[in-house]
Structure 1
Amino acid sequence: MPVYHPDGNFSGQGRVVNPVAVQKLAGTSQSRSNNTLLSAGLQLKPLEGLLVNLDYTYSQNSSNQEQTGLSFFEYRAVPGTEQLFPYTNPSSISLYNADSYQNAVNLFAEYTKSFNDAHNIKALIGYNQEYNKNSNMIAARLNLINQEKPSIDGASGEKNTYGSKTHYSINGLFMRFSYDYKGRYLAEFNGRYDGSSRYPKDKRYKFFPSGSIGWRISEEPLWKKTPALNWWTNLKVRVSYGSLGNQALVGNFGYLQEYYETETDYIIGGTRPKAIMAPELISGSITWETVNQSNWGIDAGFLDNRLTAAVDIYRRDTKDMLWDGELLPAVLGSSIPKENGASLKTTGFEFSIGWMDQLKNGLSYWGRFYLGDSKTKITKVNNPTKTLRSQFYQGMEYGEIWGFESKGLFQSQEEIEKSADQSRIGQAWGPGDVKYEDLNGDGFIDYGKMTVDDSGDMKKIGNSLARYNYGFNLGFEYKGFDLSMQWQGIMKRDVFLNSDTFWGINEVSGDRVNIINPHTFTLDYWTPENPNAYYPRPKFLSSGNRLPSDRYIKNGAYLKLKTLDLGYTLPYEWIRPMYIQNARIFLSIENLLTFSHLPKAFDPEDLSASAYPRPRKFSLGVNLTF
């Protein structure tokens, strides 16, 4: 669709949106925000080794937005068929205001003491309190009298208002005690007693302990006295266990039943009477979600720590996640209340190795490689039938993709008639459509009961969780010149790009057709002259062609050059007369290179086709120190 008709008017095809016309004619959205942050603190040292700290922070954030929708004519391809653009007809104006306030107080005392140059202790105890309050208001009205000067009073249509207020607070005690003997034997114990207003009074507080121990084996006298170990500079082993609470996923008043105003579905006296909706069921036992993590690690350094390495193996158990409770009869007329009824387990490792050195000619160089991986398994969830219609089932590996196994594309009507019946997953199958494998051999392609035990012809065809995250940093400095770069990527990930951008043609959704500009990679579609195409034949109603299948699972692995920095530090004798201590000229580039198996329209870090593309940034500047 062209932007303009030959007569100079913007083009438009009814429900096909001309974005240039919308940007120019459909109205504006203007926002303004004001942020205030005040903080004050006091530190006292009444005794040797004792520090008392008190700080207070107040912040206020206010924002407002004015949005107008202006009516304008769409000029069709056929003269005389002009119509008002449907999405801003009638014209409108809306005003939005929001305010948020936060208060935070921290008070703690820390005591540090050493004995006999061997025993070192540090103890800390403190109190934290936060209060948050938020409010917002929306006012809107239709039918602007004068579109050139839009205002609430300058409109004659229906008025709508909405507003809300909410607040929550948290407080708690925290403590820490650490001990080390000559930096050789290390121990630390922590505890938090946290409370949140987001839970019922008898469920608001919970204690979360943690602790760690470490042993620097390389500090042992025997190690230092062993000549064969002179090249091994550092060796430390450590173990830790910790528990933390999470209350961020709970509504501010999720433990209270809420009533809502609405209008009835029947008319009395020419109007729909106001009514109060019956509240949804809630669980009276909602409390903190708890994350317990254990970690085992080794740190090592060699050749005066020019070569360093670290390995961590961890397990994280997330307990009491909010999830749907027990199934209730449909005649109850209420949704299933949330309760602390789900758990998951994550196991993984992290590894890094690095080298840094300086040669006799003054060249300094360094590099570090890191690799990490994790897998998450659902250990508890209320899904007794293991239905695949639910997000989780017990025993599931997080990120599973279920779908069909494809046998290519149908090439003829005769092939369709000789294959398994696919009418249960789509209609109007023809040459060029996707052909699926009859895994259970019943002569039909279907979903079965959509459970793990009876999934019809579906199976696990991939996993969307990113695996084997890796990266490396490289750099050098020589005679004032410096260069550094950071690479990042993942080695394994399965991706199902189920979007119009990927398929190149749109689905019909109700009475709306979303037309897009197809990319060149979508032109490899089936025709009698192109029987070995990647994509099925193009049509608005895909009729099953876009179901998840191994044919359209893409390799989501990638490698990116995230940053590249090049600089030159001017010699001091050049800048000393200008009273400058240091001057560095630099060029910095972000997102310079991407190696990916996905179509170019997709960023492997953000698979959404509608996501704003990550820009390639070039920065040239000078850092001066006086």
Structure 2
Amino acid sequence: MFSGAYDRTFIDAHHVYGLLLYNRRSYVSGGALPRNYIGLTGRVGYDFKQRYMVEFNVARNGNDMFQKGERYGIFPAISIGWNLAEESFFKKLFPNIDLFKVRGSYGLVGTDNKVNKPVTEQEYSSSGGGPDFGVTSGLGQSGTMQFERALVNPYVTWEKERKTDIGLEINMFKSRLRLTADYFYNYRYDQLIAQNGTSALMGQSVPAVNNGETENRGVDGSISWRDTKKGFTYGITATISYAKNKIIYISESPNYPWQAQTGRPIGVGLYYKTDGLLTVNDFVDVEKGILKEGVAKTNFDNAGIPQPGNIKFVDMDGDGVITEADKTYADKPNLPTTTYGLGLSFGYKGVSLNLLFQGATDYSVYLGMLGGGNYRAMHMDRYTPANESQEYPRLSVMGGSGDRNIMSWGTSMSDYWLKDAYYVRLKSAELSWQMPEQWFKNIIIKGCRLYATGFNLFTISNINKYQQDAEIGCSFGRTYPNTINFNFGAQLSF
């Protein structure tokens, strides 16, 4: 690695700076081919009395996993800013504003994360045993067979993203009050994605191609206040982010138009659409499980005969039977659209308290309840003939699929178990005491700080009653949840 920097101010007004960074890395692991990376990054910037600012960056990165002609990518970026608070007219109009910076940036970035082997190398797999030569009774000479894996694509190149940002920064009242706001738009293209539109008659898997496109846009904002009054220091910082993404192009060949991913958000899944639970009013004959005309029949394995309390599915294609054709995409993704945070800090005479809250909303969580576990309190509110609750379907146990159906056979990825989610969590809290320095004047220890910290102390969420973590999402009970942790310690200085 090599780096060089330049920073100089002329005539107390013109500030010029620059940076040049060169790096080279090689990875060697076992019998795998070595991987080599090289990068050259440059930055040049100028500002006039912190009033007008411009900066230009460019990076040239290389990866020898690509073929010649595709190994290097050039990624430039430019940003400009104008601090109106340094203008004389602005100071007269708004004397309490210390910073009022309008800024914008546009740049191109690239990634090679999906390329960890030479794209031009054809791969093969071995199959033990293989055919017998000479006889058909299994007594002949056996040989190992070699299979050609997916075809190679020698034209794989860097995935790219155009990033645009327009922002505003405001500091007021000697920077005690700070505000920021940003609008961003990111367009990703040349994404390396699998090709799903090829007929199986080809007899071979096709390679990934750089033709995926997605976009992500949204706004970020923060506001903070920090002050000291008579030795008491306090601060508050609030942040919020709203972002929505969309798949512009993905290689797909859906069996039904409503199952296409193009144009939908990233992270939405296919689910059977539901309309509550079956009741006795949906049946011609309850004992025989004969449904009324217009009520779709299910076609799931081990579903058994329809019964009141089963999930009622919507027949999307109108053929009277619930099949894979009736799956459609959810309205909300499994990734939060809105995230927020709140930080609080207090300090007085060496004692300090810091709290961090975080949360998210406007997303969905799938309740992946597996069988084989204990019954829970919510099972008491299940559908029964005496309690025609629409909150939870009837309980059932069936061979073969009972492991995934403790709630009901309707757990076959239906939107009945897809819940709009939100949560607010006290992510961390720390209480500390910095002992007075005069206590350590005549000993080798010069200072001592005692502290107690806690993580994930409590969570407010509409998903809590299902005993699932709204931050982790669907885990089918097999993911270790966020735990409440406590730490106690002391920091000594000598």
TM-score, normalising length from structure 1?
0.70
Return the alpha-carbon distance in structure 1 between the equivalents of residues 379 and 155 of structure 2: 52
Return the alpha-carbon distance in structure 2 between the equivalents of residues 535 and 200 of structure 1: 56
Which runs of structure 2 are paired with 1:473-622 in the superposition (5 Å)? 473-500=343-370, 505=371, 515-532=372-389, 534-540=392-398, 541=401, 545-598=410-463, 599=465, 601-607=467-473, 608=475, 609-622=477-490
Amino acid in the other structure paired with 1:433: N
**Residues 334 and 316 from structure 1, CA distance in 2 versus in 1: closer, same or farther, beyond 3 angstroms?**
same
The structural deviation recorded for 1:600 is 5.6
Q: 2:87 maps to what in 1?
A: 220
Q: 2:115 maps to what in 1?
A: 250
Which runs of structure 2 are paired with 1:181-196 in the superposition (5 Å)? 181-196=48-63
1:267 lines up with 2:157 in the alignment:
no
Q: Specify which structure has the bigger relative contact order, considering alpha-carbon pairs within 8 angstroms and separated by 6 or more residues.
A: 2
Return the alpha-carbon distance in structure 2 between the equivalents of residues 203 and 458 of structure 1: 39
Which runs of structure 2 are paired with 1:30-109 in the superposition (5 Å)? 106-109=1-4
Amino acid in the other structure paired with 1:397: P
Return the alpha-carbon distance in structure 1 between the equivalents of residues 43 and 33 of structure 2: 34
Return the alpha-carbon distance in structure 2 between the equivalents of residues 480 and 556 of structure 1: 40
Does the 8 Å contact 1:261/1:275 carry over to 2?
yes
Which runs of structure 2 are paired with 1:111-190 in the superposition (5 Å)? 111-135=6-30, 164-190=31-57
Does the 8 Å contact 1:131/1:170 carry over to 2?
yes
Identity of aligned residues (%): 27
**How many residues are aligned here?**
469
Which runs of structure 2 are paired with 1:5-16 in the superposition (5 Å)? none
The structural deviation recorded for 1:112 is 2.1
Does the 8 Å contact 2:330/2:415 carry over to 1?
no
**Residues 464 and 388 from structure 1, CA distance in 2 versus in 1: closer, same or farther, beyond 3 angstroms?**
farther
- Equivalent of 1:341, from 211, 234, 239? 211
1:198 lines up with 2:198 in the alignment:
no
Per-residue CA deviations over 1:323-379 (Å, capped at 9, x if unaligned) read 1237334232101211101010000111000001111x2211100000002111111
1:383 lines up with 2:241 in the alignment:
no
Between 461-470 and 197-206, report the one with greater CA deviation.
Answer: 461-470
2:374 counterpart SS class: coil
- Equivalent of 1:236, from 70, 76, 101? 101
Return the alpha-carbon distance in structure 2 between the equivalents of residues 620 and 327 of structure 1: 57
The structural deviation recorded for 1:410 is 2.1
Q: 1:292 maps to what in 2?
A: 162
- Equivalent of 2:231, from 351, 356, 362? 362
1:121 counterpart SS class: strand
1:374 lines up with 2:243 in the alignment:
yes
Does the 8 Å contact 2:268/2:329 carry over to 1?
no
Q: 1:327 maps to what in 2?
A: 197
Between 371-380 and 552-561, report the one with greater CA deviation.
Answer: 552-561
Return the alpha-carbon distance in structure 2 between the equivalents of residues 166 and 387 of structure 1: 43
Does the 8 Å contact 2:367/2:468 carry over to 1?
no
Amino acid in the other structure paired with 2:37: I
1:432 lines up with 2:309 in the alignment:
yes
Between 417-426 and 588-597, report the one with greater CA deviation.
Answer: 417-426
Q: 1:305 maps to what in 2?
A: 175
Amino acid in the other structure paired with 1:130: R
Between 427-436 and 185-194, report the one with greater CA deviation.
Answer: 427-436
**Residues 351 and 167 from structure 1, CA distance in 2 versus in 1: closer, same or farther, beyond 3 angstroms?**
same
Return the alpha-carbon distance in structure 2 between the equivalents of residues 602 and 558 of structure 1: 12
Return the alpha-carbon distance in structure 1 between the equivalents of residues 328 and 264 of structure 2: 15
The structural deviation recorded for 1:485 is 0.4
Does the 8 Å contact 1:281/1:337 carry over to 2?
yes
Return the alpha-carbon distance in structure 2 between the equivalents of residues 563 and 172 of structure 1: 38
The structural deviation recorded for 1:408 is 2.4
Amino acid in the other structure paired with 2:47: D
1:400 lines up with 2:272 in the alignment:
no
2:440 counterpart SS class: helix
1:421 lines up with 2:291 in the alignment:
no
Return the alpha-carbon distance in structure 2 between the equivalents of residues 374 and 307 of structure 1: 25
Return the alpha-carbon distance in structure 2 between the equivalents of residues 126 and 433 of structure 1: 64
Does the 8 Å contact 2:23/2:39 carry over to 1?
yes
1:331 counterpart SS class: helix
Does the 8 Å contact 2:248/2:263 carry over to 1?
yes
1:218 counterpart SS class: helix
Amino acid in the other structure paired with 2:116: G
Return the alpha-carbon distance in structure 2 between the equivalents of residues 304 and 527 of structure 1: 66
Return the alpha-carbon distance in structure 1 between the equivalents of residues 345 and 300 of structure 2: 55
**Residues 189 and 498 from structure 1, CA distance in 2 versus in 1: closer, same or farther, beyond 3 angstroms?**
same
Per-residue CA deviations over 1:23-75 (Å, capped at 9, x if unaligned) read xxxxxxxxxxxxxxxxxxxxxxxxxxxxxxxxxxxxxxxxxxxxxxxxxxxxx
Per-residue CA deviations over 1:378-431 (Å, capped at 9, x if unaligned) read 1122225585898x7321222223434433222345365115232345642223
Amino acid in the other structure paired with 2:394: P
Does the 8 Å contact 1:378/1:395 carry over to 2?
yes
Return the alpha-carbon distance in structure 1 between the equivalents of residues 147 and 73 of structure 2: 34
Amino acid in the other structure paired with 1:610: R
Does the 8 Å contact 1:386/1:393 carry over to 2?
no
Return the alpha-carbon distance in structure 1 between the equivalents of residues 46 and 338 of structure 2: 36
Return the alpha-carbon distance in structure 2 between the equivalents of residues 318 and 241 of structure 1: 14
1:352 lines up with 2:247 in the alignment:
no
Return the alpha-carbon distance in structure 1 between the equivalents of residues 11 and 155 of structure 2: 52
The structural deviation recorded for 1:572 is 2.4
Does the 8 Å contact 2:125/2:149 carry over to 1?
yes
**Residues 357 and 569 from structure 1, CA distance in 2 versus in 1: closer, same or farther, beyond 3 angstroms?**
same
1:557 counterpart SS class: strand
Q: 1:317 maps to what in 2?
A: 187
1:210 lines up with 2:103 in the alignment:
no
Amino acid in the other structure paired with 1:333: G
Return the alpha-carbon distance in structure 1 between the equivalents of residues 116 and 381 of structure 2: 48
1:410 lines up with 2:278 in the alignment:
yes
- For structure 2, the 5+ residue unaligned runs are 134-138
Per-residue CA deviations over 1:154-179 (Å, capped at 9, x if unaligned) read xxxxxxxxxx5242111122111111
1:460 lines up with 2:330 in the alignment:
yes
Return the alpha-carbon distance in structure 1 between the equivalents of residues 364 and 310 of structure 2: 23
**Residues 583 and 263 from structure 1, CA distance in 2 versus in 1: closer, same or farther, beyond 3 angstroms?**
closer
Does the 8 Å contact 2:196/2:253 carry over to 1?
no
After superposition, the CA RMSD in angstroms is 2.4
The structural deviation recorded for 1:620 is 1.6
